[in-house]
């Protein structure tokens, strides 16, 4: 191979945006099911949805929004050469991801201790519409939680590359793409939060 | 187009340069041509397995009652035949194999935008394929749901559907990554002078296909993920006992799987659009119309999924709307057929094997497409739904369409990649045998379907015996033709006479570089394009 090095930043970001479309469509399947079942079981969705704790959801919304802000600032910091600040901000993002997941753990544990989880005996005594609601709630927030973890791993990997100067003020498209992915995690939550925690109260 | 440096006859181009020794120079290569060949040989292997399973199915149907296998084995065999042919052969067949081999060269690029991701896609494909094969021998035995995995049966059967669902998810991921790689490549890596209206029609068809791969495949991802969750975690989103609705599974499944038939056929149409002008020595008639119709198929094809569900209990209004939309998709397909015929009209026709396969595509795809309209019309569909008419229909469009296009692409481009030519006379004879076998096999299926024989049964009433035996005999003739074709082309690729850079007289970029192509396709200088892909006068062919 010749030493032909081809770096195409626009291309790299273009590819990332296409990938983000696919993620939105992946969640799109769950949102379609939500819409269909909400139309079919409006009463049951309201009675089951009002059992979700808006403070857990609201708190996690604040945590995620803050983490996205950290990522956005970190990119500017890196471009201006403030490597240490950038790393600290990204550390903050990962801390937010951890808080989010711990929060989620407590929220799910509370539900599970009340016997509300897929396939449980208690769930089978509920109305069919309420069963659908809790199933889709677990699947949607579970899939989203998985994306939070993937996003945090991507951010950690970017931090490692920044530390070893492979990602720097002149070559930071990996951090930008990891940041884009993190914003997607945020964006999906921005739709999950009102659909599950707000409009059903 | 640019002058490229002449190479010595014994120069094996990219074949001679590997980064790693032996097989590692292939399975860890990021060269688009090597990855294309990895895909080519992988999909060809699975195609042969699929053909063997198909032959077994036909053998079972040679006589009523149990002939060579039990009902359960038959269910597993047709499921496997469908899963292998669809997910491991037709979907990756032309785009991943020939798209990787040819597309970057056609736009004057040295590789795709993300070469490592490209290699990763192939590894995902192999992983998915391995899991699909593993699902046959582990758990509760081979899945018996048919390739559509319809709930509630797929959620309840004790066979190994869960692992097959994981395999489909991974294969879908592979397809998505190939799609986004191709879209980015076509946007970003076109060489100087390669304007959008100078892109060869094969690459245009890959562009349209790649968008469908990106936008539709995630939906099958979430669908099989939900099926997996229903089986493993008990989250019954499609389970009526838990308030779910099985029809929603069918909607989500077809929201992907109908656009997926255009993932399967659009690249085939692209192959035909590239071959016909070359062997007619005429510019493609209606180049822009073909481009627009590819994009129109990609768009309109996303809106017709529920025509698979006329008898599933959707409302009459929905049936009418989807029937109407289905008729609309026929229009861009017909535009292509008319443009191909107009290109051939008054052309200086060279009846070489690639053109023969292309012509059989037009014939068989048109028959298959028109019988699709019978199914698209709601009233007629109720009569033939889930009969052998449907089986005949989709084999005409998938095998007669995409399969023939795959063979056409093999005969057209593989001499370029291998630098050697097969025996054209044997290729022509093989083509004739394949067509005869094909027509006997699938016309019999259509007729017996019209008479009311349902699909997916290992048994039938004695009245259908004659036509079923005719179909089975047709499958043998088809198999003989396929063997002849593969032996001839594989022998030619390794032992045939060396070919020059441009054996067919093509005007697009891949014919302006040596055969086989060098590692980075072009010399020191990137090529500069000064005319369209079918401008044979300016290219100096005419």
Write down the mean pLDDT value for chain A: 93
Residues paired with residue B421 on neighbouring β-strands, in sequence order: B497
Q: What is the mean pLDDT of residues B94-99?
A: 96
| pLDDT tens profile B437-474 | 999 999 999 999 999 999 999 999 999 999 999 999 99
Q: How far apart, in whole angstroms, are the C-alpha atoms of residue A28 and residue A188? A: 10
pLDDT of residue B141: 85
Phi and psi torsions of B221, nearest 5°: -60, -50
Structure confidence by residue, pLDDT tens digits, B327-367: 998 899 999 999 999 999 999 999 999 999 999 999 999 99
Instruction: List C-alpha distances in Å: B270 to A44, B199, B408, B510.
Output: 51, 11, 11, 15
Of the pLDDT bands very low, low, confident and very high (cuts 50, 70, 90), residue A6 is: low
Give domain status of residue A1, yes or no: no
| Structural domain that includes position A105 | 18-198
Flag whether A111 is in a domain: yes
Tell me whether B110 touches chain A (CB under 8 Å). yes
The single-letter DSSP state of residue A168 is B
What CATH number has the domain bearing residue A66? Answer: 1.20.120.80
Query: Is A129 inside any structural domain?
Result: yes
State pLDDT tens for residues A139-186: 999 999 999 999 999 999 999 999 999 999 999 999 999 999 999 999
Task: Please give the helix or strand (H or E) that residue B192 lies within, else none.
Answer: none
Which pLDDT value is given to residue A193?
Answer: 96
Backbone angles phi and psi of A171, in degrees to 5: -140, 85
Query: Which pLDDT belongs to residue A121?
Result: 85
CB contact under 8 A, A10 and B218: no
A26 with B243: Cβ contact below 8 A: no
Residue B218 has its nearest CB partner, among A14, A22, A119, at A22
Check residue A176 and give its pLDDT.
Answer: 95
Which pLDDT value is given to residue A123? 85
Q: Decide if pLDDT at B1 tops 70.
A: no
Is the pLDDT confidence value at B59 over 60? yes
pLDDT interval class at B8 (50, 70, 90):
very low
Q: What is the pLDDT of residues B21-33, one digit of tens each?
A: 888 999 999 999 9
ipTM of the complex: 0.93
Query: What interhelical angle do B353-376 and B404-418 show, nearest 10?
Result: 150
Element (H, E) at A35: helix A9-40
Q: Evaluate if residue B81 carries a pLDDT over 60.
A: yes
The torsion angles phi and psi of B420, rounded to 5 degrees, stand at: -135, 155
Averaged pLDDT, A43-61: 92
Q: For residue B7, what pLDDT is reported?
A: 43
| pLDDT tens readout for residues B494-525 | 999 999 999 999 999 999 999 999 989 998 88
Q: Which residue in the set B189, B221, B248 is minimally distant from A26, CB to CB?
A: B221
What would the mean pLDDT of B41-48 be, rounded to a whole number?
96
Count of residues in chain A: 201
Q: What percent of chain A has pLDDT over 70?
A: 97
State the burial class of residue B377 (Cβ atoms within 10 Å of its Cβ: 0-12, 13-18, 19+): middle
Domain count, chain A: 1
Pairwise CA distance, residues A5 & A83, whole Å:
26
Residue B255: pLDDT band by 50, 70, 90 thresholds?
Answer: very high
Q: Is A64 left (phi over 0), alpha (psi -120 to 50) or beta?
A: alpha
Which chain A residues are within 8 Å of B233, Cβ to Cβ?
A: 118-119
Task: Grade residue A5 by pLDDT with cuts at 50, 70 and 90.
Answer: low
**Average pLDDT over all residues of chain B:** 93
- Of B365, B368, B204, residue with least CA distance to B284: B204
Size of interface A-B (CB pairs under 8 A): 113
Question: Does residue A145 sit within a domain?
Answer: yes
Chain A touched by B188 (CB under 8 Å):
yes
- The phi, psi pair for B197, rounded to 5°, reads -90, 10
What band does A2 get if pLDDT is binned at 50, 70 and 90? very low
Contact B189 A37 (CB under 8 A): no
- Give the highest mean pLDDT range of B7-21, B307-321, B459-473: B459-473
Whether the per-residue pLDDT at B123 is higher than 50: the answer is yes
Q: Which of B188, B229, B241 sits opposite A11 (nearest CB)?
A: B188
Q: Is residue A39 part of a domain?
A: yes
Asked whether residue A11 is assigned to any structural domain, the reply reads no
Task: Name the minimum distance, in Å, from the CA of B221 to any CA of chain A.
Answer: 7
Q: What is the CA radius of gyration of chain B?
A: 23
Name all domains of chain B by residue range, CATH numbers in brackets: 13-512 (1.20.210.10)
- CA geometry: angle A36, A42, A44, nearest 5 deg: 110
- For residue A13, tell me if it sits in a domain: no
Q: Chain B residue closest to A138 (CA)? A: B235
Within a domain: A131: yes
């Amino acid at each position: 191979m010749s030493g032909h090095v081809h770096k195409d930043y626009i291309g790299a970001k273009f590819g990332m945006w296409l990938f983000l479309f696919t993620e939105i469509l992946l969640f799109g399947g769950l949102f379609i099911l939500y819409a269909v079942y909400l139309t079919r079981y409006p009463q049951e969705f309201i009675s089951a949805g009002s059992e979700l704790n808006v403070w857990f959801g609201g708190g996690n919304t604040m945590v995620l929004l803050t983490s996205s802000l950290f990522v956005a600032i970190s990119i500017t910091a890196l471009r201006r050469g403030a490597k240490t600040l950038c790393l600290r901000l990204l550390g903050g993002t990962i801390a937010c991801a951890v808080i989010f997941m711990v929060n989620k753990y407590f929220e799910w544990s509370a539900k599970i201790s009340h016997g509300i989880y897929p396939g449980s005996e208690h769930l089978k005594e509920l109305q069919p519409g309420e069963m659908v609601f809790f199933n889709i709630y677990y699947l949607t927030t579970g899939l989203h939680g998985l994306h939070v973890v993937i996003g945090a791993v991507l951010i950690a990997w970017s931090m490692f590359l920044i530390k070893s100067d492979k990602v720097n003020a002149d070559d930071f498209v990996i951090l930008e793409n990891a940041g884009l992915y993190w914003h997607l995690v945020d964006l999906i939550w921005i739709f999950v939060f009102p659909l599950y925690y707000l409009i059903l109260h | 187009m640019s002058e490229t440096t002449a190479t010595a006859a014994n120069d094996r181009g990219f074949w001679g340069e590997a980064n790693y020794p032996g097989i590692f120079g292939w399975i860890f290569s990021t060269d688009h041509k090597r990855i294309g060949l990895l895909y080519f040989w992988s999909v060809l292997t699975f195609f042969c397995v699929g053909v063997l399973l198909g032959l077994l199915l036909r053998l079972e149907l040679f006589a009523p009652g149990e002939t060579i296998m039990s009902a359960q084995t038959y269910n597993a065999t047709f499921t496997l035949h469908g899963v292998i042919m669809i997910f491991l052969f037709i979907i990756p067949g032309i785009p991943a194999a020939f798209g990787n081999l040819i597309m970057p060269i056609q736009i004057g690029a040295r590789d795709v935008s993300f070469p490592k991701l490209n290699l990763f896609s192939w590894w995902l494909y192999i992983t998915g394929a391995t899991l699909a094969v593993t699902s046959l021998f582990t758990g509760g035995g081979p899945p018996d749901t048919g390739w559509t995995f319809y709930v509630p049966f797929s959620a309840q059967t004790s066979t190994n559907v869960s692992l097959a669902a994981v395999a489909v998810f991974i294969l879908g991921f592979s397809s998505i990554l190939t799609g986004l790689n191709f879209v980015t490549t076509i946007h970003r890596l076109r060489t100087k002078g390669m304007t959008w209206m100078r892109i060869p029609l094969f690459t245009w068809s890959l562009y349209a296909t790649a968008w469908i791969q990106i936008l539709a495949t995630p939906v099958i991802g979430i669908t099989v993920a939900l099926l997996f969750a229903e089986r493993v975690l008990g989250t019954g989103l499609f389970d009526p006992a838990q308030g779910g609705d099985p029809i929603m599974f069918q909607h989500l499944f077809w929201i992907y799987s109908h656009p997926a038939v255009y993932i399967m056929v659009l690249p085939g149409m692209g192959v035909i659009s590239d071959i016909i002008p070359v062997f007619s020595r005429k510019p493609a008639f209606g180049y822009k119309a073909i481009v627009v119709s590819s994009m129109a198929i990609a768009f309109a094809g996303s809106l017709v999924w529920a025509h698979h569900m006329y008898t599933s209990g959707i409302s009459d209004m929905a049936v009418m709307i989807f029937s109407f939309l289905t008729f609309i998709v026929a229009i861009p397909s017909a535009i292509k057929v008319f443009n191909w015929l107009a290109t051939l009209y008054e052309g200086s026709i060279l009846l070489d094997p690639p053109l023969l396969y292309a012509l059989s595509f037009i014939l068989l795809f048109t028959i298959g497409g028109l019988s699709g309209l019978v199914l698209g019309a709601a009233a007629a569909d109720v009569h033939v739904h889930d009969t052998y008419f449907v089986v005949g229909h989709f084999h005409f469009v998938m095998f007669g369409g995409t399969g023939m296009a795959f063979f056409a692409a093999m005969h057209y481009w593989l001499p370029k990649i291998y630098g050697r030519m097969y025996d054209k006379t044997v290729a022509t004879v093989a083509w004739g045998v394949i067509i005869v076998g094909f027509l006997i096999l699938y016309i019999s299926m259509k007729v017996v379907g019209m008479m009311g024989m349902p699909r997916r049964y290992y048994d039938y009433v004695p009245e259908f015996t004659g036509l079923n035996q005719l179909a089975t005999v047709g499958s043998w003739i088809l198999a003989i033709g396929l063997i002849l074709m593969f032996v001839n082309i594989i022998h030619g690729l390794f032992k045939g006479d060396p070919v020059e850079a441009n054996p067919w007289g093509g005007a697009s970029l891949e014919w302006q570089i040596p055969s086989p192509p060098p590692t980075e396709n072009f010399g020191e200088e990137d090529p500069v394009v000064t005319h369209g892909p079918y401008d044979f006068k300016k290219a100096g062919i005419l």
